Amino acid sequence: MSDPLVDIAWLLEHLQDPDVVVAEVCWTPAGSSRELYEQGHLPGAVFLDVDVDLAAPPGSGPGRHPIPSPPSFAATMGATGIRNTDLVVAYDRQGGSLAARLWWMLDVTGHRAAVLDGGLDAWTGVPETGAVGRKPASFEERPWPSRRVIDAEGVTRAIATRTAVVLDARVEERYRGEVEPIDPVGGHVPGALSAPWVDNLDPAGRFLPAAALRERFVRLGVREGKPVVCYCGSGVTSCHDVLALELAGLGEAMLYEGSWSDWCSDPKRPVARGPGSRGD
């Protein structure tokens, strides 16, 4: 199975497959995301927290959600009960914006993964409560591929040489610098285009058809064969744009790991505000 997006019908058919693991990816700005998960989740779903399980501690890498080291990520997956050969179906309660981070981490390291279209809202049955425990498993440690991850210096070169399209997955208000609820500086990377991850979804919270996604990104200047860099606030929701680009058949984008939280941490880096010059 190579489709990075599955619907609820597919999941219902394969929920009991021994090599399918359902994982809820959670994050809350305050309070306990585990408590939210235990109040109701998909049957058999394991719990993964963005801050704890899918990121290294702040300060150990660029931005607010640095990518964990390969040994740390492998240990987390194994402790959760995910085997090296399993197909992980990730979902969340926020339009796939969190689940896409787990999908990306697994996909770029050659593991099987997919996102459940519609997330928890797609489930019409009775949610399961409490925690789900799985037996610890063996999960192979693999390096993060350099061709899929880029740093601030690489982004600077890509924009200066116009060798890549750089997309900002945050909401437009944050891109324009009108509001900034998290980071100390508002605005965007000069030359980056606004591509909010929410615009990958229809009103029901499902991904747009591939043709519509393709049309959206082509309007922004994305072309097959031209590199694309995606960033957001901290490298989490930008994975949603990476996934949408793949669904659109436009290839594999690079992830700016530290994203805006890394970029704006250096006062020497330029900051742009306003609507931008292209793709508006």
Which CATH number is 14's domain given? 3.40.250.10
Provide mean pLDDT across the span 25-36. Answer: 86
- pLDDT at residue 1, rounded to an integer: 52
| Structural domain that includes position 158 | 146-263
Q: Does residue 103 belong to any structural domain of this protein?
A: yes
Catalytic residues: 232
pLDDT band per the 50, 70, 90 thresholds, residue 60: very high
Q: Does residue 274 belong to any structural domain of this protein?
A: no
Q: Does residue 151 belong to any structural domain of this protein?
A: yes
pLDDT-above-90 percentage for the chain: 94
Instruction: Count the Cβ atoms, other than its own, within 10 Å of residue 267.
Output: 7
pLDDT-above-70 percentage for the chain: 98
Are residue 15 and residue 95 in the same domain, yes or no? yes
Model-level pTM?
Answer: 0.96
The Cβ-side half-sphere exposure at 18, using a 13 Å CA radius, reads 1
Model confidence at 75: pLDDT above 70: yes
pLDDT band per the 50, 70, 90 thresholds, residue 47: very high
Are residue 150 and residue 118 in the same domain, yes or no? no
**Residue-wise pLDDT tens digits, 138-197:** 999 999 999 999 999 999 999 999 999 999 999 999 999 999 999 999 999 999 999 999
User: Phi and psi (nearest 5°) for 218?
Assistant: -65, -35
Q: Do the Cβ atoms of 256 and 269 come closer than 8 Å?
A: no
Q: Does residue 244 belong to any structural domain of this protein?
A: yes
- pLDDT at residue 278, rounded to an integer: 47
Are residue 23 and residue 93 in the same domain, yes or no? yes
- Interatomic CA distance for residues 267 and 276, integer angstroms: 20
Are residue 155 and residue 115 in the same domain, yes or no? no
pLDDT band per the 50, 70, 90 thresholds, residue 277: low
Instruction: Count the Cβ atoms, other than its own, within 10 Å of residue 191.
Output: 19
Q: Where are the beta strands (DSSP E) in 79-188?
A: 87-91, 112-116, 149-150, 165-168
Q: How many domains does the chain have?
A: 2
